[in-house]
Structure 1
Amino acid sequence: MSKNIKQGIQVTVSLLIAVFIFYYLYRDIDKDTILSALRNTDLLLLTSSVLVGILGYWLRAWRWKILIETGEKIPVSTSNVFWALMFGYLMNLLIPRAGELARCGAVNKTYPIKIGKLFGTVVLERSIDMVFMFLMIALAFLFQGGIFLEIFGLLVSVPALTAFMNNYFSIGLVIMAGGVGLVYLTFRRYRHSGWVGKVRQFLRQFVSGLETVFQMKKQFGFWAVSVLIWIIYFFMMYWIAQAIPSTSSLSASSVLMVLVMGSIGMVAPVQGGIGTFHAMVAFILLFYGISEEQGKIFAMIVHASQMLTIMALGGLSLLLLASKKESNLQH
């Protein structure tokens, strides 16, 4: 089976799962109910959420640019990185996680920077985001600890979890050690072959990308923007919550909890978190007295505002990247 066919099957299966989850969630909601909710939504607050979201994407591009240009002798434009980033987000809607490599490729076509290093900066950036997400979870637990414990009690059986760890933890360690040993022996046996040399070169570039976090000059700006990005995420959701009558009574700490659950839903390996984001948001809103129907409508509006923004900016990025490619061919 060819690589393209396998990739096509993966995309199709992932999309079908997302569509099924979305259909299952919204199959019982009347169209007129959704239209009524949209008519009663405050467009000014909704527009504000979209605009501040675009600012968040720009700040993400600036932060990534700081990592990219560390150790390079050429200046890197935030604008070029921004369009590469939006291209990556657009690709993520088609193939989950493919956007990370796609945006690296887009930058590589503009600047002579190794793909390995670019991918290392992306992994570093994602790891930092994961740390901040855990900090947001801790903050939400601080303000909404009772809800956290209630959800944990509903979803997790502590005795079953303890039994699982006792039974399978040692086996997991053995399998992990065996995998590491197998990789080591393979590299030892084929260390003089060309593909091993390419892998080593990529890994060196990858590590150089990870090391940029220690080498970059704008340390304060980088970390300040990292905090600001998550503050923007909060206001994107808070303003939409205020824009919709059914959720306008939610407190700031409640919205923070919804943001955390929605972020967890976006991590699922389906296109754009379709279905999983909606399910997680609607589920947590039940704990705040929001009906399942209204919770799903809120999740739909939040998600659609982000996806439409990504599709619009991603579409523009495709045009810009295509024009740059034509320009390079002419030269």
Structure 2
Amino acid sequence: MNSKIKKFFSLSIPLLLGLGIIYYQYTTLTAQELQNIKSIFKKADYFYIYLSLFIALFGFWSRAYRWKYALNHLGYQTHFKNDLMTVCVSYLVNLTIPRSGEISRAALLKKYEDVPFDKAFGTIVAERIVDLIVFFLFVILGFALQFNKLYNFIFSKISLQNIVILLVVGVVLFILFILIWIYAEWNIIQKLKRKLSGLVEGMMSILKMKDKWKYIFHSFLIWFSYLLMFYVTIFALPETKNIGFDVVVMGFIFGSLAIGFTNGGLGAYPLSIAKILMLYGISNDVGTAFGWLIWTSQTLLTICVGLISYILLPLLNKK
């Protein structure tokens, strides 16, 4: 019963959060803004939306190709078509329960390529760590490009005294965490240490693999494709086509973060895009329409390629 309850909450909470955000966004828009959003959808240049979807497919391909290097390092020669289709299915599953696609991806590879689940899942965990590092580099780039604007914004909202207090509290908490991590014998700390050691081992395996530079190249290529597919969509609307690359990077960063809060970014992604663009003079209705254009098109693509891959996997692997 506990597992069923846990599964229910893991599915319902992100979904309810996403629906709540949609309701909030809808109720805060005026009738004129809603009408403007409809007209924006009609006048959008969908060539750039389709171009964005094509780039997204290239990102799927690159992710599957990168995975093959890790699997080869472990001694498993898998068929690329199965690697690609399991990746596509994992994106689809992530729309139901966030991050559940990683489990389905390893399970499908076990079924169709006979790669042990723990081995496949270990390579996926290592991927996530690498992805986090690359994304963090994008965050550094975005904040470096927008340092002056963010600096002025923060100091206009928060007093210097409060910033100092927050920094002091942060340093104290960090030191406390380090002391607990080193000296505490709590079960939860020991479990976290074991998991961390597994993650470190996964990262070290990447550095030892024969094709590590190709693996790293594809890691950057994947995130570059994510950024590029976001960038080309700004040309779909006349109101956004002239925004600077620095603004694009910030929108991409906060949009990526929003995806993890709800099922595939339901509600959260368009809202975050609208709020970020408002900081740079883009009206709320345009930012909202822009966010929904990107999210809807990418979600439909994910559903289509995921379902097609799920159907093709057993058909192309008949023995």
Q: In the TM superposition, what is the alpha-carbon distance from 1:210 to its structure 2 partner?
A: 4.1
Q: What secondary structure is seen at the aligned counterpart in 1 of 2:239? A: helix
State the TM-score, normalizing by the size of structure 2. 0.86
Q: In the TM superposition, what is the alpha-carbon distance from 1:290 to its structure 2 partner?
A: 0.1
* 1:298 partner letter: F
Please list, as runs of the form range in 1=range in 2, the aligned pairs for 1:1-331 lying within 5 A after superposition: 1-27=1-27, 28=29, 30=31, 31-72=34-75, 74-153=76-155, 157-165=162-170, 168-169=173-174, 171-173=176-178, 175-177=180-182, 181-182=186-187, 209-268=202-261, 270-323=262-315, 327=318
State the TM-score, normalizing by the size of structure 1. 0.83
Asked if structure 2 preserves the Cα contact closer than 8 Å seen for 1:114 and 1:205, the reply is no
CA–CA distance in 1 between the matches of 2:190 and 2:224?
A: 47
* 1:113 partner letter: V
Q: How far does the alpha carbon of each residue in 1:70-89 deviate from its partner, in whole angstroms, 9 at most, with x for none?
A: 131x4212221111111111
Q: What secondary structure is seen at the aligned counterpart in 1 of 2:146? A: helix
The gaps in structure 1 that reach 5 residues or longer are 187-199
Asked if structure 2 preserves the Cα contact closer than 8 Å seen for 1:40 and 1:245, the reply is no
Q: How far does the alpha carbon of each residue in 1:255-291 deviate from its partner, in whole angstroms, 9 at most, with x for none?
A: 12211221222233x2112222222211111121101
Q: In the TM superposition, what is the alpha-carbon distance from 1:10 to its structure 2 partner?
A: 2.4
Asked if structure 2 preserves the Cα contact closer than 8 Å seen for 1:68 and 1:121, the reply is yes
Q: What secondary structure is seen at the aligned counterpart in 1 of 2:95? A: helix
Q: What secondary structure is seen at the aligned counterpart in 2 of 1:246? A: coil
CA–CA distance in 2 between the matches of 1:26 and 1:154?
A: 29
Asked if structure 1 preserves the Cα contact closer than 8 Å seen for 2:11 and 2:97, the reply is yes
Q: What secondary structure is seen at the aligned counterpart in 1 of 2:210? A: coil
Asked if structure 1 preserves the Cα contact closer than 8 Å seen for 2:98 and 2:260, the reply is no
Asked if structure 1 preserves the Cα contact closer than 8 Å seen for 2:71 and 2:77, the reply is no
CA–CA distance in 2 between the matches of 1:131 and 1:176?
A: 22
* 1:93 partner letter: L
* 2:167 partner letter: T
Asked if structure 1 preserves the Cα contact closer than 8 Å seen for 2:126 and 2:199, the reply is no
CA–CA distance in 2 between the matches of 1:154 and 1:68?
A: 50
CA–CA distance in 2 between the matches of 1:8 and 1:154?
A: 42
Asked if structure 2 preserves the Cα contact closer than 8 Å seen for 1:147 and 1:287, the reply is no
Deviates more, 1:222-231 or 1:311-320: 222-231
How many residues get paired? 311
Deviates more, 1:161-170 or 1:219-228: 161-170
CA–CA distance in 2 between the matches of 1:185 and 1:263?
A: 31
* 2:211 partner letter: K
> Given the superposition, is the C-alpha separation of residues 16 and 139 from structure 1 closer, same or farther in structure 2, using an over 3 Å criterion?
same
The gaps in structure 2 that reach 5 residues or longer are none
Asked if structure 1 preserves the Cα contact closer than 8 Å seen for 2:40 and 2:289, the reply is yes
Q: What secondary structure is seen at the aligned counterpart in 2 of 1:258? A: helix
> Given the superposition, is the C-alpha separation of residues 228 and 171 from structure 1 closer, same or farther in structure 2, using an over 3 Å criterion?
closer
% of aligned pairs identical? 28
CA RMSD of aligned residues (A): 2.8
Q: In the TM superposition, what is the alpha-carbon distance from 1:321 to its structure 2 partner?
A: 3.5
Asked if structure 2 preserves the Cα contact closer than 8 Å seen for 1:118 and 1:206, the reply is no
Q: In the TM superposition, what is the alpha-carbon distance from 1:240 to its structure 2 partner?
A: 0.7
CA–CA distance in 1 between the matches of 2:225 and 2:190?
A: 47
